[in-house]
Structure 1
Amino acid sequence: MTCFFLVVTILVAPPVDSRAGETAARLNVQPMAAPKPALKYVLLPEVREMNPGNAAQWYVRCFQEQRNFFFSKQANADRARYRALPLAELPVEKLRQYGGFALTQADWAARLDTVDWEVLQRVQTEGLDVLLPELGPLEVLATALQVRLFALARHLGDYPAEAANLIGLSAAHLTLDTLEEMVQQPGCPNLYWAVTDLPCPLVDLRKGLQGQRAMVAAELRPLRDDTPMTEAEMEKFVSRLSGTLGFAREQAGQSFRSLRSLLRARVKDPERVRAARRRLIEAGATEDLVALVQAVLLHYWDGSKVYADQVLRFPPAQVILLDEKRAYEIRRDEGMKLLGLAPWQIDVLTSSGKIEREGDGLFADLLPDVIKVRRQQGLVEQRIALLRHVEALRLYAAAHDGRLPDKLADVPVPLPADPFTGKPFHYQRDGATAHLRGNRPPGDAKKAAYNGHYEVIVQKSDVRSQRTEVPNRRSARN
């Protein structure tokens, strides 16, 4: 079984004549049958290739080895030049040792059996101000490496920070750019089963969003729910959180939102304070009862009265803050629970109004934008699905004298649905050219990134020679 070494470059295909607002790519491919055995080529290391060790440590070591390679002006200029070249024009001999031992260590990291970024305790305790200095270099590594990035992308999905997961998605796109060019090279094996073998999702978002949840929990930890807080304690809490959220909004280019002013307005509303206090008492009674059942206590205990006595002694500002915290937690989980759904299923819920996505809660800025990041993840899934279609068309053409199918139902292998609709991709044949189009998620119909269009052109070749796999060429293993 051969693990492909994806060359250190990408080629952005020239735009094709397409509809307005589309992301279009033209792929010139040859008919090619599936290899035998079917998984002779794979895109992620298998167990038999793995070694014991922590991949994260080896990724970081890349920068200790050759900082000039990653950060010097000349190295960046060379990298930009190489990335602009088509695969056929790359100076292969010159690039054979590209990156030296630095990228060799990244290659080794891709085949280690565990990944522990060793940031969990910091994420859990340092709040939203936690520093994650390794993320910047890892983004540089992705652009420098562009080999075996599927492994790096997947490892970044194990990082407990949303920013790292997004870098993982970016790395996956870089690799798909390269893979799309690779399948156009003469004699390239058919990768339908290799692409099908990729895990879905390739880059997980759960740990990143759970890490974000842990950071927020650390940020809100000073807000006590077991005893009345002093005015000084509440001032310290509000001051820190207000500064953190204000800076985040400024960095995001959003208008200023005064947490302190919003809190003051709520505290001055007696009815609002009474309603908040009542909700806290009701919620506390329920939580006390659950805790008792879990502890298997057999005698009756009026937990509601104990918690009610506490809440009645809380000052109005503390009551409002605790009520807002609980509202935040409810809305947060309304978003987080969607991660297990396909993008089109999420759209069904959100378009029907069942998911509240906006509001004026004090802690609204802390809510994760699950729908947005899930759609970004869905873009990677959609590109992988489209690439499976391309390779399936090559399979069909190899068995039918270079001809394309009239419809996707004629293809003899399973084809994935569009993750944004749960329905088949749009397919149109025009002679030796096939047009594959994805679907547009609600609200993003005008964004080109969500309007993929593949123009697949089957080149003339000796189809008979493609009905069996081409001889195995030597390739670097990863």
Structure 2
Amino acid sequence: MMRFVLAGLLLINCQTCWADDEPPQAISKRDPLSFTPQRAETPALQYVLMPPYLDKTEGNAATMYYRALLELSELERLKKGANLFDEVLAWTAAPDDVFNVDKVRDTLKPFRAVLENTEIAARRTYCRWDLPQAENKEDLYYITLNESQEMREIARLLVLKARLEITEGDYDQAVRTFQTTYAMARHVSEPPIIICDLIGVAIVSMINDQVAAFVRAPDTPNLYWPLTALPRPIIDVRPSMGLEGNGLYFVFPQLLAAKTKTLTPEQWQAELEAFLKKFEKVAAATGGMDADELAEIKKKTDFKTIMARAVEAKTGLIKMGQPSQAAKDMAAGQAILLYTALVFDHFRDDLFKWAYVPLAEAGEEFRNARKSIKENSDTIELVPVAALLLPALDGVVRAVQRQEGVIAQLRGFEAIRMYAAEHDGELPDKLSDIKAVPIPDDPLTGKPFFYHRDGETGALGTMPLRIAK
């Protein structure tokens, strides 16, 4: 089970060059990016960045994505182990002055069926992957997500395709590729699993970079209103929070039983023993700990060691509001299981509640809640289920909000293009000079994006600006 290591890797991959963490002086001195002024399109939503309603067909997108993945698998088989994506990645990262459109077309040719099936899938009316969560409740943490992982490879193809279309000036087709990719990102995040959300965010990050290249290309349509019309949030983690916050009770039904069942002391002892044995297996399968750490967890969760802490569990239950006599009379096994479950609930809710608050309002509280789990688990948890199994939700939400910030910044950029088109190619002195459309704030801070003008050049956040003459 690669779940927790994978989450960290995906969070790294979700970072972009758009984080507004550089001093304004460094940004404004950077070599500016030329762009052409452009008024808003008429009608305003002539272009859209999600598949339009009239383009959609009834059906499940997942079946077509699976066909695309089968085509990809066949190409990999024919390649006989050679890295299928070496050229794709190389051309995607190539500088503009060496980007060869003919060679890029040749690179994409073998993937034609993959891309065609993906375009069809992105325009289906719904996406249901039907992962076996219900059938494998007690093995929830072991469900593999190979298809979700492989969708990142298809996203890389779409990114290169979009770059080719922008370079060739085929802006209508580039917008269609944006639609496919944004829709696919949301489809990938359809299962209520945090890892799927992170893969969706990574795909959004990849295509956001191409949208940024699009708005800087010569004479491109203004995407202010299409960007504004994108779903918000572009990836919604709330459905996953339900499963991630309660999956523990599927995997360890003994913890739920401690809240709901009446058993004999001997039966509770057997329930506790079964819980500890399975917890040890889950801990070993996370992939995030070395041998010494696993040995330490095994030592702490040894059955005799845990049973010796029954009085500690009962005392903890009383502090959490359980009736004193009921806690004292409780079988040792039930007391330990119930205490473990209630401590998990406390840590989970203290973390998850901040996901419902905009990051700009939450400040450091979200991060502090995660930090509290790490710092207090040893002294509060008998069995470290919260420390080991609660997702790094603050990092996930921050990754989503970072991409929301990219989209907001691009809206601001397009608003500046509108202003320049209406003011003889001049940059505004300040963002508040723009009256035609609202200028969004940075969702990470709740404050306006940094804007600076220095004659004919300027900067919006991390985007240096210069109007093409």
Q: Find the aligned partners of 2:430 and 2:276 in 1 and give their Cα distance.
A: 61
SS at match of 1:52: strand
Q: In 2 relative to 1, CA 357–387 (structure 1 residues): closer, same or farther, beyond 3 Å?
A: farther
| Correspondence 1:268 to 2:277 | no
CA contact (8 A) 1:41 1:191 kept: yes
Q: Find the aligned partners of 2:64 and 2:138 in 1 and give their Cα distance.
A: 26
* Structure 1 letter corresponding to 2:288: E
**Paired residues, number:** 407
Q: How does 1:84-103 map to 2 (within 5 A)?
A: 84-85=93-94, 89-91=100-102, 94=106, 97=109, 99-103=111-115
Q: Find the aligned partners of 2:148 and 2:416 in 1 and give their Cα distance.
A: 38
Q: Find the aligned partners of 2:275 and 2:201 in 1 and give their Cα distance.
A: 35
SS at match of 1:189: coil
Q: In 2 relative to 1, CA 252–175 (structure 1 residues): closer, same or farther, beyond 3 Å?
A: farther
Partner of 1:162: 194
Of 47, 50, 55, which aligns to 1:49? 55
Following TM superposition, by how much is the alpha carbon of 1:421 offset from its aligned partner in structure 2, in angstroms? 1.5
CA contact (8 A) 2:61 2:122 kept: yes
Of 401, 410, 432, which aligns to 2:456? 432
Of 39, 42, 54, which aligns to 1:36? 42
* Structure 1 letter corresponding to 2:216: Q
Q: How does 1:21-420 map to 2 (within 5 A)?
A: 27-69=33-75, 72=79, 73=82, 75-85=84-94, 89-91=100-102, 94=106, 97=109, 99-119=111-131, 120-122=133-135, 124-146=137-159, 147=177, 148-223=180-255, 224-225=257-258, 226=261, 227-228=263-264, 229-248=267-286, 250=288, 255-256=293-294, 257-258=296-297, 261=300, 267-269=307-309, 271-278=311-318, 282-283=321-322, 308=326, 314-347=330-363, 349-350=365-366, 356-358=372-374, 359-360=376-377, 361=381, 362=383, 363-364=385-386, 365-412=388-435, 413-420=437-444
TM-score by length of structure 2 reads 0.77
Following TM superposition, by how much is the alpha carbon of 1:49 offset from its aligned partner in structure 2, in angstroms? 1.9
CA contact (8 A) 1:128 1:216 kept: no
CA deviation map 1:9-54 (0-9, x unaligned): xxx99xxxx6599998953211111111010011001222211111
Any stretches of 5+ residues in structure 2 without a counterpart?
1-15, 160-176
SS at match of 1:75: coil
Following TM superposition, by how much is the alpha carbon of 1:276 offset from its aligned partner in structure 2, in angstroms? 3.6
Q: In 2 relative to 1, CA 123–145 (structure 1 residues): closer, same or farther, beyond 3 Å?
A: farther
Partner of 1:291: none
CA contact (8 A) 1:124 1:214 kept: no
Q: Find the aligned partners of 1:21 and 1:434 in 2 and give their Cα distance.
A: 11
* Structure 1 letter corresponding to 2:351: G
Partner of 1:466: none
Cα RMSD (Å)? 3.3
Q: Find the aligned partners of 1:84 and 1:354 in 2 and give their Cα distance.
A: 35
Following TM superposition, by how much is the alpha carbon of 1:74 offset from its aligned partner in structure 2, in angstroms? 5.7
Give percent identity, aligned residues only: 27
CA contact (8 A) 1:30 1:458 kept: yes
* Structure 2 letter corresponding to 1:382: G
Following TM superposition, by how much is the alpha carbon of 1:95 offset from its aligned partner in structure 2, in angstroms? 6.6
CA contact (8 A) 1:266 1:273 kept: no
Following TM superposition, by how much is the alpha carbon of 1:192 offset from its aligned partner in structure 2, in angstroms? 0.8
Q: In 2 relative to 1, CA 252–172 (structure 1 residues): closer, same or farther, beyond 3 Å?
A: farther
| 105-114 vs 215-224, which moves further | 215-224
Q: Find the aligned partners of 2:51 and 2:198 in 1 and give their Cα distance.
A: 22
Q: Find the aligned partners of 2:355 and 2:399 in 1 and give their Cα distance.
A: 12
Q: In 2 relative to 1, CA 268–222 (structure 1 residues): closer, same or farther, beyond 3 Å?
A: closer
Following TM superposition, by how much is the alpha carbon of 1:266 offset from its aligned partner in structure 2, in angstroms? 5.6
Q: In 2 relative to 1, CA 193–252 (structure 1 residues): closer, same or farther, beyond 3 Å?
A: farther
CA contact (8 A) 2:87 2:107 kept: no
Q: Find the aligned partners of 2:25 and 2:271 in 1 and give their Cα distance.
A: 52
Following TM superposition, by how much is the alpha carbon of 1:390 offset from its aligned partner in structure 2, in angstroms? 1.1
* Structure 1 letter corresponding to 2:101: L
From the two aligned structures, give the one with the greater helix fraction. Answer: 2
Q: Which contiguous aligned blocks of 4+ residues in structure 1 show a shift greater than 6 angstroms?
A: 20-25, 351-355
| 119-128 vs 153-162, which moves further | 119-128
Q: Find the aligned partners of 1:149 and 1:196 in 2 and give their Cα distance.
A: 17
Q: Find the aligned partners of 1:375 and 1:97 in 2 and give their Cα distance.
A: 37
CA contact (8 A) 2:39 2:417 kept: yes
CA deviation map 1:325-345 (0-9, x unaligned): 111112212222222221112
Q: Find the aligned partners of 2:228 and 2:292 in 1 and give their Cα distance.
A: 41
* Structure 2 letter corresponding to 1:331: F
Any stretches of 5+ residues in structure 1 without a counterpart?
1-11, 286-303, 438-452, 461-478
Q: Find the aligned partners of 1:153 and 1:126 in 2 and give their Cα distance.
A: 26
Q: Find the aligned partners of 1:19 and 1:249 in 2 and give their Cα distance.
A: 38
Following TM superposition, by how much is the alpha carbon of 1:160 offset from its aligned partner in structure 2, in angstroms? 1.5
CA deviation map 1:403-436 (0-9, x unaligned): 1000000112101111121111111111222212
